Amino acid sequence: MRKIDKKQADAYFRTRTTLVTIYLLIGFSASFGVVMFAEELSGFSVNGMPFHYFMGAQGAVLTFIILLFVNAIVNDRIDKKFGLDQDLEDKK
Amino acid sequence: MDSQFLVSLVLILATFGLYIGIAVYNMARQTSDFYVAGRNVPAVFNGMAIGADWMSAASFIGMAGTVMLLGYDGLAYIMGWTGGYLLLTFLLAPQLRKSGRYTVPEFIGDRYSSSTARLIAAVATIIISFTYSIGQLSGSGVVIGRLLEVPTAVGTIIGVVLIAFYSALGGMKGITWTQVAQYLVLIIAYLIPVIFMSLQLTSNPIPWLSYGQIIGELQQLDQQLGVSEYVVPFTEATKWQFLALMFTLMAGTAGLPHVIVRFYTVSTMKAARWSGAWALLFIGLLYLSAPAYAAFSRFILMTQVAGSSIADLPAWTASWVNTGSLSVADTNGDGILQWEEIVISNDIVVMATPEIANLGVFVIGLMAAGAMAAALSTAGGLMIAISAALSQDIYYRSINPKATESQRLLVGRSSIIIATVAAGIVALNPPGAITQIVAWAFALASGTFFPALILGVWWRRANGPGVIAGMLVGLTVTLTYIFAAKFGGFTILGIIDTGARF
């Protein structure tokens, strides 16, 4: 990887770590969080199913997919902002 | 020979021909082709290849049935396995790709600057992938055997020869493109029947939107029968067991060496992130459809099979009763088959759907080709992982560092053939059910690689002696527990050797 200023490298690393932490929190509350409160959340329906079942069968998976795509897009922007064009680098 | 046999045979042979053709066309000429497909696989196609690599015969054949039998509790598998890709893509894949190695053990060895760590990781890779591949090979034996009406052992041998041939020839480069083809075959085979079933039951061709309505009707049917309701949570096990199972499946997914190595085949960290996103989208297509299969099948069993006279069951039930996957004993002798009197194996939910929905010989043949694609693609990826551990991590890095390109390719190719044949021989007389064997592999992966990789990437102070001790303990404890539970009748808190069922 191209040599970049240490301060900038730290900022880059921090931004990415913060984002990953947020994504994981969202992902875990959609799965583990909903399971923890499954009984309480079964009162209303989404897409014809009780909410806890919907989250298990569809909601959590959709959340995961969206998070991964958001991560890919946002990370590309961050790379650009920090001037790291990865298409030219990392090739070994 | 009836027409069904011929159609299935032609479809299977056509897909086999396609896979071999792709491998010949993409023959590996240098070691970087052989281990990491020259590192130039586009992210979308790598996503498909990861999907096929990851979704095994057990996912294709068994998952919908498990969800049907366990109700809400079966959804731990759906969330656990897809959630594994969050951990993998956020915490591991791009960082491992950045390291620029060929294999997972190489990363561990170099990160912790320890050849011992590398060798232990290589041995763990071989044990995990070997265990996993036994399940795939015996699975493909069952499918080929049933389809071609030959003994399961002959079916297994056919699968072994095919995999050994095309993976030794194509290496990772060939495997990548066969896996792309195999993904397309398996997803088409999986979606067509569920779409038709949705049309027939709800006159809506989009099963993901329509099965909610069926679930509502199932709730009413359950209430009338007074059985435990389909959507009620934690009927099979406690909430904590559900959460623990889900976590194990996530960590196991993120620690499977044959899946991680697929992230090494792209050119950049950026492409590794996109591969993870595409992979989960492609995997999600199948995982979002499995609960739809489950709901539709349970509805048909409850409305069309249960409640009818025992002498007058739908015609499709007969062939599955004969194979022992469906039991419809009229235990209380009133001539009517009650819902409680149906015992169904989780393997038939997907495979029986084309017959239930009356979709004809072509779709039945396509299902068989899809199940084969799922088994072969996973087995192929596993064989590459074993071969890379043997030829790169052990032979090249430890035994003969001066080996030339052609020597390394030769060792790589021959280790694939030896590994496939060895796994095939064990698979002729498998040590457990397919799902059980796969569960062992998962437990081993989450006990050895997941912690070693996470700490290696995220904790600067993790060091060589620590990781060696950790992997050895993980491996020993897990193996001991599997053997003790399997052969010695020893368990802790009643947890059997298969914490997970696949």
Domain locations in chain B? 33-306+342-488
CA separation for the pair B303, B220 (Å, rounded): 12
Q: What is the interface size between A and B, counted as CB pairs within 8 Å?
A: 130
Q: The dihedral of CA B279, B280, B285, B290: what is its sign?
A: positive
SS3 call for A76 = helix
Average pLDDT value for chain A: 84
For residue A64, give how far its alpha carbon lies from the nearest alpha carbon of chain B (Å): 7
pLDDT in tens, chain B (502 residues): 578 888 888 998 899 999 989 988 888 888 888 888 888 889 999 999 999 999 988 788 888 888 888 888 889 889 999 999 999 999 988 888 887 778 888 888 888 888 888 888 898 899 889 888 888 888 888 778 777 777 888 888 888 888 888 888 888 888 899 999 999 999 999 999 999 989 988 888 899 998 888 888 888 888 888 777 788 888 777 788 888 888 888 988 888 888 988 888 888 888 899 999 999 999 999 999 999 999 998 898 888 888 788 877 887 888 778 777 788 877 777 778 888 788 887 777 888 888 888 888 888 888 889 988 998 899 989 998 898 888 888 888 878 888 888 888 888 888 889 989 998 888 888 776 666 777 778 888 888 888 888 888 888 777 777 888 888 888 888 887 777 666 655 444 444 444 333 2
A89·B75 Cβ contact <8 A: no
Cβ proximity of B409 and B31 under 8 Å: yes
Question: Is residue A78 within 8 angstroms of chain B, CB to CB?
Answer: no
Q: Which residues of B touch A58 (CB under 8 A)?
A: 208, 288, 291
CA end-to-end span of chain B, whole Å?
34
Take residue B159 and report the two structure tokens written for it.
């699968």
Cβ proximity of A28 and B237 under 8 Å: no
Q: Which residues of A touch B211 (CB under 8 A)?
A: 48
Question: Is residue A58 within 8 angstroms of chain B, CB to CB?
Answer: yes
Instruction: Specify the pLDDT at position B273.
Output: 92
CA atoms within 13 A on the CB side of B238: 4
A23-62 in b/e form (b: 16+ CB < 10 A) is bbebbbebbbebbeebeebbeeeebbbbbbbbbbbbbbbb
Residues 15-54 of A with CB under 8 A from B: 20, 23-24, 27, 31-32, 35-36, 38-39, 42, 45, 47-50, 52-54
The ipTM estimated for the assembled molecules is 0.88
Indicate the pTM of the whole model. 0.88
Least confident piece of the model among A61-70, A82-91, B68-77, B267-276 = A82-91
Q: Which residues of B touch A52 (CB under 8 A)?
A: 72, 231, 233
Cβ proximity of A56 and B79 under 8 Å: yes
pLDDT (mean) for A57-62? 94
CA B375 vs CA B56, B150, B182: distances in Å? 5, 18, 10
CA end-to-end span of chain A, whole Å?
11
Q: Which residues of B touch A62 (CB under 8 A)?
A: 284, 288
CA separation for the pair B239, B73 (Å, rounded): 9
CA separation for the pair B484, B159 (Å, rounded): 31
B269·A31 Cβ contact <8 A: no
Instruction: Specify the pLDDT at position B53.
Output: 92
Question: Is residue B100 within 8 angstroms of chain A, CB to CB?
Answer: yes
Name the closest residue on chain B to residue A71, using Cα atoms: B273
Residues 116-135 of B with CB under 8 A from A: none
B280·A23 Cβ contact <8 A: no
Cβ proximity of B74 and B294 under 8 Å: yes
Residue A49 bridge partners (DSSP): A46
CA B366 vs CA A55, B5, B93, B191: distances in Å? 31, 12, 34, 11
For residue A53, give how far its alpha carbon lies from the nearest alpha carbon of chain B (Å): 6
Share of chain A above pLDDT 90, in %: 42
Q: Which residues of A touch B267 (CB under 8 A)?
A: 87, 90-91
Take residue A38 and report the two structure tokens written for it.
């499954």
CA separation for the pair B479, B256 (Å, rounded): 16
* SS3 sequence of B400-432: CCCCCHHHHHHHHHHHHHHHHHHHHHHHHCCCC
CA separation for the pair B199, B192 (Å, rounded): 11
- Find the CB nearest A67 among B86, B98, B284: B86
Residues 359-398 of B with CB under 8 A from A: none
B86·A64 Cβ contact <8 A: yes
Instruction: Specify the pLDDT at position B14.
Output: 92
Q: Which residues of B touch A54 (CB under 8 A)?
A: 212
CA separation for the pair B143, B137 (Å, rounded): 10
The residue among A1, A54, A65 with the most chain B CBs within 10 A of its CB, best to mutate, is: A65
Instruction: Specify the pLDDT at position A4.
Output: 64
Instruction: Calculate the dihedral angle through the C-alpha atoms of B201, B206, B210, B214, rounding to the nearest 10 degrees.
Output: 40
- Find the CB nearest A53 among B208, B231, B267: B231
Task: Give residues with Cβ within 8 angstroms of B101, minimum separation 6.
Answer: B107, B110, B264
Instruction: Specify the pLDDT at position B488.
Output: 53
Residue that the structure tokens 């000429």 belong to = B29
CA separation for the pair B326, B272 (Å, rounded): 44
Least confident piece of the model among A11-15, A84-88, B162-166, B237-241 = A84-88
Burial class for B113, CB neighbours closer than 10 Å (0-12, 13-18, 19+): exposed
Fold of B33-306+342-488: Sodium/glucose cotransporter (1.20.1730)
Q: Where are the alpha helices (DSSP H) in A3-59?
A: 6-28, 34-36, 51-54
Question: Is residue B206 within 8 angstroms of chain A, CB to CB?
Answer: no
A56·B79 Cβ contact <8 A: yes
The residue among A36, A44, A58 with the most chain B CBs within 10 A of its CB, best to mutate, is: A58
B86·A24 Cβ contact <8 A: yes
φ/ψ of residue A45, rounded to 5: -115, 145
CA separation for the pair B172, B185 (Å, rounded): 19
CA atoms within 13 A on the CB side of A80: 6
CA separation for the pair B252, B375 (Å, rounded): 19
- Which range of A75-79, A87-91, B472-476 scores highest in mean pLDDT? It is A75-79
CA separation for the pair B422, B429 (Å, rounded): 12
Q: Which residues of B touch A50 (CB under 8 A)?
A: 231
Name the closest residue on chain B to residue A18, using Cα atoms: B90
- Find the CB nearest A31 among B79, B212, B274: B79
